[in-house]
Structure 1
Amino acid sequence: MKPKPQRLLMNMMMAVDDRIVHVRDAIRACELFDVSSNSTRVALARLSADGLIESCGRGQYQLTDKAHRLADDLRGWRTALERLVPWSGRWLAVHCGDLGRSDKPVLRRRTRALQMNGFQELSRDLFVRPDNLAGSTDAIRQRLYRLGLEPEAPVFALSELDSRRQQVARTLWDRDTLETGYQRTTERLHRWLDKAKDLEPEIAARESFEIGDEAIRQIVFDPLLPDAMVDQQARQRFFDTLLEHDQVGHSIWQRLYHEAQSQG
């Protein structure tokens, strides 16, 4: 399945240290994924219209400040586990009862923000997650707003839940699915790392993106549950293997990009 050109281009631009990309190099990179030059140019135009990239010279683009903020949030996966602190049993909550439901784009952004921060619905319009992340409630609140939750939604700490709701809340996340996901992705990353050095550069770049992009999405949307609710050793193995894959993949894309520049 082809990756969406816009997503592919954003990932490529985030991988380039100077973050300036020539159109010709973007076209060559997208061709590795069977994306036509016309589709690449259309994707660049749409990213520009969305305010995520901007022209910085003839046939050159760079990320905008808006994209940098988004990129910094996405890159936060590399330090995700450093955010974990011991869980006292307290919860964080978001109440969405006063928010609209008819604007589909707004609803998608709201849902995405809640999912990226590990919230699940405990009762109608009340979303919760364990309060086991470093930083204040206000820091979580601002991250939710930045990622798309409407500022009208109250974000607050729950110091106590009754025993029934406490029991229900602890089962909102599918532990088996999370742990199976850690194991399967770890094994897949290891298999690729074992063969990466023997692959042609173009094939290695394509595969590193396809496998890595899926795995990074997995950690970006991981709820970061406390030890009592998930196998933290399986999660740590997955995370460490993903970091190793990311370093290898980044070096492959860097080399490929600079080779393309030297040929251009």
Structure 2
Amino acid sequence: MFQVDGRPTAARVILDLLTASPEVEFGLDMLTLAGEIMGLTAANMRVSAARMCAEGRITRTTRGSYTLQVEALPAYTEVSSWRSRIERMVQWDGTWTAVEHSRVKRSDRAVLRAHNNALSLAGMAEWTPAVALRPNNLDHGTDGLRATLSRLGAAPECHVYRIDELSTEDVDALHRLWDTASRTRHLQEASRALADAVRVSDDRAAAENARSSLLLGSAVISTIVHDPLLPEELAPVTPLVELIEQMKEFQDHALTLWLELLDDGQRT
């Protein structure tokens, strides 16, 4: 069964709304109403918005609305571009892109956590304690991977390079680094969860539909963003392609519903 976090924080709600609708100006009244729909108090939303401003993750404009500070959100590009994520894939030539990170300080937990998160978002898998790698099937090759890892917060001590001419035994071992059966099953579970949500939406109130759509949509987008984008030679691509198309339609409907509720709330 596809897992959805049923207890979002105020910060999560704010980030989800601002990321999904960057062209919309969200005033504090809209954010507090969104919090109410999600079961959060107005105080929760106000305090969280103020804290996020102080942290530099969002900013308040002269019009009194809130916008994202994307420079402070390393994963913003990945999250905001989930709709076109599949377009980053190119034909795999059988080579690999690798990250050698033996010099990364393991004693600095914050640096290590950011580094490991960057590797995960880039679809890297651990081959040895010092080397993580992935198929070389993304646009711009090693240069693109260097730029992606730097943007995501990988430690600067790591080195990115290409690997080829591996032994048959090594290639076989590398193919087993990703649990592709589990990955495909997870994508299919997400797809079924979206289909189920659409089927039951007519039986629920608009506010409940909005709440459910934000929770489920956030979980599905996270699944898409964390997909390693493996080539067809390692895992079927179709389940991811189908999930992205399904999620596009789901989010379009969800955003329309959310903006109607928030707009109506402002007028009442």
Question: What TM bracket, shorter-length normalisation?
Answer: over 0.9
Aligned pairs for 1:177-216 (under 5 A) are: 177-216=182-221
Residue 23, structure 1, aligned to residue 28, structure 2: yes
Identity of aligned residues (%): 29
Residue ranges of structure 1 left out of the alignment (5+ in a row):
none
Name the CA distance, whole Å, in 1 between partners of 2:235 and 2:69.
38
Matched, 1:252 2:254: no
1:10 to 5, 11, 15: 15
Q: 1:66 to 1:148 in 2, by over 3 A?
A: same
Whole-Å Cα distance in 2 between the matches of residues 35 and 97 of structure 1?
44
Question: Where does 1:1-264 land on structure 2 (aligned, <5 Å)?
Answer: 1-57=6-62, 59-66=64-71, 70-263=75-268
State the TM-score, normalizing by the size of structure 1.
0.93
Please give the alpha-carbon distance, in whole angstroms, between the structure 2 residues aligned to 1:154 and 1:98.
9
Distance (whole Å) between structure 1 residues aligned to residue 64 and residue 22 of structure 2? 18
- Matched residues in 2 for 1:221 and 1:160: separation? 28
Displacement of 1:6 in angstroms is 0.8
Q: Give the distance between the partners of 2:153 and 2:72, measured in 1 at CA.
A: 14
* C-alpha distance in 1 between matches for 2:143 and 2:156: 12
**Structure 2-normalised TM-score?**
0.91
Shift of residue 225, structure 1, vs aligned partner: 0.6
Higher RCO (Cα < 8 Å, 6 or more apart): 2
Alpha-carbon distance in 1 for matches of 2:54, 2:214: 25
Q: How has the CA–CA distance of structure 1 residues 92 and 214 changed in structure 2, closer, same or farther, with 3 Å as cutoff?
A: same
Describe the superposition over 1:69-118 as per-residue Cα deviations: whole angstroms up to 9, x where unpaired.
75333112111111111211100100110010112121111111111110
Aligned-partner Cα distance in 2 for 1:144–1:84: 17
Q: Say if 2:194 and 2:250, in contact at 8 Å, map to a contact too.
A: yes
The worse-fitting range, judged by mean Cα deviation, of 142-151 and 237-246 is 237-246
Alpha-carbon offset, residue 159 of structure 1: 2.1
What SS class does the counterpart of residue 154 from structure 2 fall into?
coil
Asked if the contact 1:120/1:173 (under 8 Å) is kept, the reply is yes
Q: Distance in 2 between matches of 1:149 and 1:121?
A: 15
Give 1:165 deviation, angstroms: 1.8
- Which deviates more from structure 2 when the two are superposed, residues 44-53 or residues 64-73? 64-73
The alpha-carbon deviation at position 195 of structure 1 amounts to 3.1
Determine if contact 1:15/1:254 at 8 Å carries over to the other structure: no
CA deviation vs aligned residue, 1:218-263 (integer Å, no higher than 9, x gap): 0100011110111222222222212221221122222222223333
Distance in 2, matches of 1:15 and 1:236, equals 20
The alignment of Structure 1 onto Structure 2 pairs a total of residues equal to: 263
> SS at 1:228's partner residue?
coil
Deviation at 1:8, TM superposition (A): 1.0
Give the Cα–Cα distance (whole angstroms) in 1 for the partners of residues 196 and 172 of structure 2: 39
